[in-house]
Every structure is written in C-alpha cells, then in structure tokens.
Amino acid sequence: MRNLLSIEDLSRQDIERILARASSFAQVSGREIKKVPTLRGRTVINLFYESSTRTSSSFELAAKRLSADLVSIKAQGSSVDKGESLRDTVQTLSAYDPAAIVIRSPYAGAAALVASWTTASVINAGDGKHEHPTQALLDLYTLRARRGDLEGLRVWIVGDVLHSRVARSNILAFTRMGCAVTVCGPPTLIPRDIATLGCEVRFSLDGIEEADVVYALRMQRERMTGSYVPSLREYAARFQIDGRRLAPHQLLMHPGPVNRGVELAAEVIDSPQALIVRQVESGVVVRMAVLYELLAGGLSPLPASRGIRTEPQPA
Ligand code: NCD
C-alpha cells in the first residue's frame, strides 16, 4: 500500500493488520524509552492547513517514536490557499525527498491531489468533509481494546454528519468490521445519500437505547455556510447526549474537540463510559502502525525518482 487516502482503500484484512501492528507498538509505548529505529534516516512532513491538536500532535509523536526526521508545517495564516499554490508547496517540500507527507486540508480531495504530485507516501489527515481515515482506525482500535470483537456491535453516530469527515470514514470502517451503523441528527445535518454507505438513518434519538456505542460529533461550524439548526440550545435539547440519554451499558466516543454543553453534557464526558481519552491515546500507536504500513511494511517509494512526479497520476 502506498497511500492512505480513504477507508475505501482498505480491506478488512488490511485493517486487521494495521490494528495488530498498533497493538505491538502499544507495548513499545509502555516502556520508558518509547522509540524504535524503524524509520531512522527517513523524513516525514506534516502539512496542516487546518486547526488540529490531536491529529497533528499524535502524528508528530508517531513519527518521532519511529525515529523519523520530522518537519511540521502549519499553513494556517499563510497565503497558501488552494489549487496551484498547494501544488507549489508540495513540490517545494518534495525537494527534501520525504518518505511521507501527512496532509490536512479544508478541501475534499486535497490528499489525493497531493498524492498525484509527489512520490512520497501520502496520508490523509482530514480533507474537508470527505474523509479522516486514521481517526476511523484509531476508533476501531479503541473500541476493540474495550469490547473485543466488533462484529454485530450497534453504533449510533449522532450529530453533524453532513460536515463530518469522521462520520464518513467511520461509517465505512465500522461497517467493514461487521458493526451495524445508524446515523442520527436533524434532517438538515444528514446528507441525503448517506444510506448508500451502508448505514441506517434516524432523525431523532428515539431508539438510541439499542446502541452499544454512541459516537457523538461536534457541530462543524467552520464548514457551515448557512443556518442548519434554529439554535444551539434547541439542538442540544433534542440531540445532546447526557446522563439521562446514555444508559449504563453504553460506551461513548467522540473524536474531539468536544463542545461541552452542546453535543455532550459534562457528566457523560467525564464518566467511565467515555472512551474519549482512550481515543487520543490510541492515536499515537495507530498512526505509528499506519506509517509503518506505508513506509516499512511493503513497497516503499523508489528512491530513484526523488520527490516530484513528472506526470500527473490518477488519484
Ligand atoms: C475531527 C476533525 O478534525 O475532523 N477532529 C479530529 O481530528 N480529532 C473532528 C472535529 O473537528 O470535530
């Protein structure tokens, strides 16, 4: 495997292999010295055009724990915007002969474009509202660590599904592992064709008691161009997961950052049912496993072709 752009690129077997590798890295993470020499002498570039706390820091730690040389670029506030200028940046960075470029962008399809311009392996760390595959992998890893086999688990994804790349990647990932996925939110925040990804659709929390896992999403206000709910208060009244709505047997997940008091009430965020901190923890070992898979596990980019692709490649 050369790039990780979408969960669609992964078979169940690929996912199993990455999760197993992540478990082996979890053993390394339990040691006092958390580093292995796997990527010594290789360069990883993190290129983030959007805000990030968890994803950027865990990719940094993952690359460092594999002993790679790491360059982290936060493009926020720069004049770099889209299209050609992204291409220029990638061509510039490709001169360092990176083994991998980790890209987060507000534009759907940006990671695939980058992959067509560079010989480095490209990892999609979130492209607009399209996909965020490593988030889905770390969620599978976290849930499996708690619940064991995922086959048959019922997962409800609740909130702003329309603007969420996490929702798209997670519907694909959870269904691939045999879970039954339901998405739930106000009709204005559920994409019309979402059921084609293999999930059920609900427009109210009625029936949420059947879920084994409640996966809450933030309102992605940075991607909203109009008004999708009458008010956050009203949204919270109908869709907030609180101590009344979350039964003791249900697990709670959220990719972060949480807007306390909107999609989640404080009492559930801090409850033992919440896996939110575990998800963050899993981010490092799962991203180590993804870097390993692309750079050390199979075919690596050919050193002879250094950096920039000469021909545009299909994504
Ligand atoms: C998510 C993202 O950026 O897509 N955050 C993350 O990576 N942990 C979800 C969000 O921003 O709500």
Q: Which residues line ligand 1 (CB under 6 A)?
A: 54-55, 126, 132, 135, 165-166, 218, 220, 255-256
Say what the pLDDT of residue 243 is: 97
234 shares a domain with 148: yes
Tens of pLDDT, residues 154-213: 999 999 999 999 999 999 999 999 999 999 999 999 999 999 999 999 999 999 999 999
How far apart are the CA of 243 and the centre of ligand 1, in A? 24
pTM: 0.93
Number of domains in the chain: 2
Which residues are CB-neighbours of 241 under 8 A, at least 6 positions away? 158, 214, 216, 252, 263, 264, 265, 268
Q: Domain range holding 29?
A: 7-132+283-295
* Widest Cα–Cα separation across the chain: 60
User: What is the atom index within ligand 1 of the atom nearest the CA of 125?
Assistant: 7
Integer Cα distance of 284 and 221 in angstroms: 27
Please choose from 102, 124, 132, 157 the residue to mutate so as to test ligand 1's pocket, defined by most ligand atoms within 8 A of CB. 132
Closest CA to 270 of 252, 257, 284: 252
pLDDT tens digits for 283-315?
Answer: 999 999 999 999 997 544 444 444 556 544 444
* Contact between 198 and 171 (Cβ < 8 Å): yes
Q: What is the CATH number of the domain that holds 287?
A: 3.40.50.1370
Are 243 and 287 within one domain? Answer: no
- Do residues 110 and 97 both lie within one domain? yes
CA 82 to chain centre: 22
Atom of ligand 1 nearest to the CA of 54: 8
H/E stretch holding 48 reads strand 43-48
**H and E: helices and strands count for the chain:** 9, 9
